[in-house]
A and B are shown apart, each in its own frame.
Chain A
Amino acid sequence: MRNDGGGLDRIWFWFAAMSFVFLVVLAISPIKDYFREYRKYQIDYRDQLLERAGTSRELRDANREGVRIRQIWNPDYPNRVDRCTSCHLGVENPGMADASPPLRTHPMTPHTPEQFASFGCVTCHRGQGRATTMMDAHGLASDWATPMLPLRYTEASCGTCHMDEEVPEANLLSRGRTLMAELGCYACHEVDGHEAWESDAPDLDGLSRKTSPEWLRTWIADPQSVRPTTKMPYIQLGQSEIDSLVAFLWTRPAGEDDFLQDEENPAGDPDRGETLFRESRCISCHTVDGRGNGSAAELSGIASKVNRRWLIEYLENPHALQPETKMPRYYFTRQDLLDLSQYLMDELWDPEAPPPVEQAFRPPQKMVEGGMRTFRKYGCSGCHQISGLTDRSRIGPELTGIGRKPVDQLDFGRRDDLPRTLHDWIGAKVSSPRSFRDGLKMPQFILEGEDLTAVITALLSNTGEVIPEEYRVERVIANYDPPGRFGELVDRYRCLSCHEVEGVGGDISTAPLTVEGSRVQESWLKNYLLRPSTIRPILTDRMIPLRMPEEDAAFLANFMQNVYVDDDIPARLFSEEPDPANVRRGSHLFYERYGCQACHMIDGRGGYFGPLLDEAGVRLKPGWVYWWVLGSQRWRDDVRCPDYGVPDRDALDLAAFISSLGRTP
């Protein structure tokens, strides 16, 4: 079949036609390149800049803005390239605060816009930094596993670099991390950096000496219905599981049935007990019907929970029964114990609690063994220690890296109602863990609203990413162990349950003790330890009278005077008594210039927000007052005493005035 002339013509025609089609096809790609998505934003941005330009230089700069890709490139931060600024053009330009997105200025954050250049956008917001189209950049394309975080969870990203539990200015994240530790997530789940987590749930040995099986049953069935503030979750156990668990707990160690027959403790005087209860300021830590500090257990209903004999033993020496408790050991006399316990047993009982059955509870061995299995199955030993079960294995899956898990690796189970996003999944897992499928063991925590968002944020912050050293803000684990006799006394009085020293200890007291020796005078401190007086009338949780012997008080005061000292605070401000003229000028400054009486009370006049200053001359050292007035926030960030920028001379005179208060010349 040879080609004739006509066939060749036909071929040339198609050759020409195809060439033309090919040319057109080739033109499509450059045209698409030219009209990229960011083009219209960049032109819009330039127009807005031109509109806003006030100087000829600004005008020139604006004119120079062409259409091009803009990016933040950081070779140190795993070669990160963020091109978000190709559309979000005004991020670093404070003049664009009133523009509409995507041209608007970035809102204020703890990091300044200049710092953005060092870590980019994706570090905090996630999404796909390299992308230059909206769908891809926001991570909505199907090939990207980490879409942008909804703004309400952005604080999670603070936590990728800031490893501390408390991250400054990230309140939600800090709250979430605190909640995770408090609720005991780490009891069941392993998380990098939290291997050393310790539960403060009570040891469960000797429950048969303390409480009744009925109370225990009610408690295990639903702890929050008995005490709404408890951290123990609702385990959702069946009735037979509850019964066997009670049987198991009751036999650790085997019950002493005669414990209820209390013959050695005669009745006490409840009226005197009530006075003792008030005087000892139990509500500095405990609550009664919700009133009080709330850092220790609610006491209403205590009489239905424990028996009097246990209560007396506990009040006598809490550390013998619960070595890890935060409760200090008071010096109560025998009569004090009888009266106090009588008052508690008479007054603080729960009318809804089941009445204790008088006869002894002797569970069959099979039930006890079943209880042990239940105890193991639900991971109770993650929080509670009990003899015979030393392995504190974690029953939940490890959570390191959960904050970056790709959605397609998540098990949504029955929850077809959930949007397919990581944060929704975590939220549902945390708030209703058993809804995913049958046979799950995670208990029900009460987490709603802000708390739920906080925990989701904390979990999202756990990305397991390797952040370069220079970006990481490592977790500081404070460690302070007071030495020697001082340490023994601090342990006995559990000072660190309320006070903080070098980052260790409770936050109930407003006064960290770290520089106590530079702050107060030794004689006053000794008296205060013996008979605490009111310093801040506004607080309910005040210093408790521990009834300590004078010898202990003197030793504690002396130790702190010599050891808890800061050299920056002048030890001796005045070499001799200040001139009365300076005192007068100080008084004038106090009342007229700075208006300190708005918060501080002297001789019954003034506000009650700050500490009373009646005895300030006896209590405080002049050097401390001087140092404080010059910048109280140096002491603690959250000090509410305003920093007036007091000049040095004024500070000296104020110190002279305040140190004259309450002193008889």
Chain B
Amino acid sequence: MKLEKMITGSRVWRSIVRHGVEPTNRNRVLTVVQNVFLHLHSAKVRRRNLEFSSTYYLGAVSLILFAILVGTGIVLMIYYHPSVPQAYNDMKELKFVVGSGMFLRNMHRWAAHGMVIVVFLHLLRVFYHRAYKPPREFNWVVGIVLLLMTLLLSYTGYLLPWDQLAFWAVSVGTNMVKAVPVLGDRIRYLLLGGNVVGESALLRFYVLHCVILPLALTIGVGVHLWRVRKDGSVAGSSGRKRG
């Protein structure tokens, strides 16, 4: 009983299971209204959280970059085959044949680099503004998860051109995974779909890069933004009292 209380009483528990199972109408409404998946619009938005200067900074820039990445990425998928050696040939096709192909590729590439940088700056800003403190500690954790996903997207995308740089970067990266105690080799096997960086690794990275991670990131961004509206953004915590 004591242990149960310790768990249910902890902050982590309370930030995830916020309402309990109390069968009152109020509780039911709260449960719905305070859940991003059940109620996309925040039930209450503070006026200042909607102000231009409070909203459109690093977080928004990374969101725009993400939108650019999704847009260019979908177009790039039209030209790309995740197979050996066609993947590299497709890079050449983009360069030499596809109209504005290099522009597309470069947009995608630079937006990806930009997103990593901007997301990092976003994190720094939140950190130095102590915006990870309550009531935004849950959003801080969501943000960290989003940063990880951004990095993973960047890394999985790196393999797709299937050039020497890609091959060796992923060889090195997945060898680093091997250093994980006990499970290292298995995780590496799971990632690569084999023991070497080959066609199945390419396919796995492709699916991760184009389907699983972007979907997860989209959902994560939804939660993140919803919490921003609900809890207030970084700017809202710059040491000033709430108005």
- Chain A residues with CB under 8 Å of chain B are 1-3, 7-8, 11, 28-30, 33, 69, 79, 81, 83, 128, 130-133, 136, 143
Min CB distance A514 to B, Å, is 47
Known: A29-B103, A79-B86. A130 touches B96 (CB 8 A): yes
Interface size for B (C-beta < 8 A) is: 15
Whether A33 lies near B92 (C-beta < 8 A) is no
Whether A1 lies near B96 (C-beta < 8 A) is no
- Chain B residues with CB under 8 Å of chain A are 51-53, 86, 89, 92-93, 95-97, 99-100, 102-103, 163
Q: Which residues of B contact A33 (CB under 8 A)?
A: 99-100
Whether B96 lies near A30 (C-beta < 8 A) is no
Whether A2 lies near B51 (C-beta < 8 A) is yes
The 10 closest A-B pairs by CB, nearest first: A29-B103, A29-B100, A132-B96, A130-B92, A33-B99, A131-B96, A130-B96, A3-B53, A3-B52, A33-B100
Task: List 26 A-B residue pairs with CB atoms under 8 Å apart, sorted by A's residue number.
Answer: A1-B53, A2-B51, A3-B52, A3-B53, A8-B52, A11-B52, A28-B103, A29-B102, A30-B99, A30-B100, A33-B99, A69-B97, A79-B89, A81-B89, A128-B92, A130-B89, A130-B96, A130-B97, A131-B92, A131-B95, A132-B96, A132-B97, A133-B96, A136-B95, A136-B96, A143-B163
- Which chain B residue shows the least CB distance to A78? B85
Q: Which residues of B contact A3 (CB under 8 A)?
A: 51-53
How many residue pairs at the A-B interface have CB separations less than 8 Å? 37
Min CB distance A465 to B, Å, is 14
Q: Which residues of A contact B53 (CB under 8 A)?
A: 1, 3, 7
With A and B bound together, what is the CA distance between A29 and B86 in angstroms? 25
Q: Which residues of A contact B102 (CB under 8 A)?
A: 29
Q: Which residues of A contact B93 (CB under 8 A)?
A: 130
Q: Which residues of B contact A29 (CB under 8 A)?
A: 100, 102-103
With A and B bound together, what is the CA distance between A29 and B52 in angstroms? 33
Min CB distance A488 to B, Å, is 57
14 more CB-based (< 8 A) A-B contacts, given A3-B53, A128-B92 = A3-B52, A29-B100, A29-B103, A33-B99, A69-B97, A83-B96, A83-B97, A130-B89, A131-B92, A131-B95, A132-B97, A133-B96, A136-B96, A143-B163
Min CB distance B162 to A, Å, is 13
Q: Which residues of B contact A136 (CB under 8 A)?
A: 95-96
- Which chain B residue shows the least CB distance to A34? B99
- Which chain A residue shows the least CB distance to B53? A3
Min CB distance A139 to B, Å, is 12
Most interface-central of A2, A7, A136 (chain B CB within 10 A): A2
- Which chain B residue shows the least CB distance to A8? B52
With A and B bound together, what is the CA distance between A30 and B99 in angstroms? 7
With A and B bound together, what is the CA distance between A28 and B53 in angstroms? 32
With A and B bound together, what is the CA distance between A143 and B95 in angstroms? 13
Q: Which residues of A contact B96 (CB under 8 A)?
A: 83, 130-133, 136
Q: Which residues of B contact A79 (CB under 8 A)?
A: 86, 89
Q: Which residues of A contact B97 (CB under 8 A)?
A: 69, 83, 130, 132
With A and B bound together, what is the CA distance between A130 and B97 in angstroms? 8
Q: Which residues of B contact A7 (CB under 8 A)?
A: 53
Q: Which residues of A contact B89 (CB under 8 A)?
A: 79, 81, 130
With A and B bound together, what is the CA distance between A188 and B89 in angstroms? 38
Q: Which residues of B contact A2 (CB under 8 A)?
A: 51
With A and B bound together, what is the CA distance between A143 and B102 in angstroms? 16
Q: Which residues of B contact A8 (CB under 8 A)?
A: 52
With A and B bound together, what is the CA distance between A1 and B239 in angstroms? 13
Q: Which residues of B contact A83 (CB under 8 A)?
A: 96-97
With A and B bound together, what is the CA distance between A33 and B98 in angstroms? 9
With A and B bound together, what is the CA distance between A54 and B91 in angstroms? 43
With A and B bound together, what is the CA distance between A3 and B53 in angstroms? 7
Most interface-central of A8, A133, A143 (chain B CB within 10 A): A143
With A and B bound together, what is the CA distance between A143 and B93 in angstroms? 15
Q: Which residues of A contact B163 (CB under 8 A)?
A: 143
With A and B bound together, what is the CA distance between A61 and B92 in angstroms? 31
Min CB distance B195 to A, Å, is 24
- Which chain B residue shows the least CB distance to A128? B92
- Which chain A residue shows the least CB distance to B238? A1
- Which chain A residue shows the least CB distance to B99? A33
Q: Which residues of B contact A81 (CB under 8 A)?
A: 89
Min CB distance B65 to A, Å, is 14
- Which chain B residue shows the least CB distance to A26? B103
Min CB distance A569 to B, Å, is 54
With A and B bound together, what is the CA distance between A30 and B102 in angstroms? 11
With A and B bound together, what is the CA distance between A14 and B100 in angstroms? 27
Min CB distance A71 to B, Å, is 9
Min CB distance A407 to B, Å, is 14
With A and B bound together, what is the CA distance between A28 and B163 in angstroms? 27
Most interface-central of A29, A79, A81, A132 (chain B CB within 10 A): A29
Min CB distance B100 to A, Å, is 4
With A and B bound together, what is the CA distance between A131 and B52 in angstroms? 48
With A and B bound together, what is the CA distance between A259 and B97 in angstroms? 80
Q: Which residues of B contact A132 (CB under 8 A)?
A: 96-97
Min CB distance B240 to A, Å, is 9
Min CB distance A506 to B, Å, is 47
- Which chain A residue shows the least CB distance to B100? A29
Min CB distance A42 to B, Å, is 15
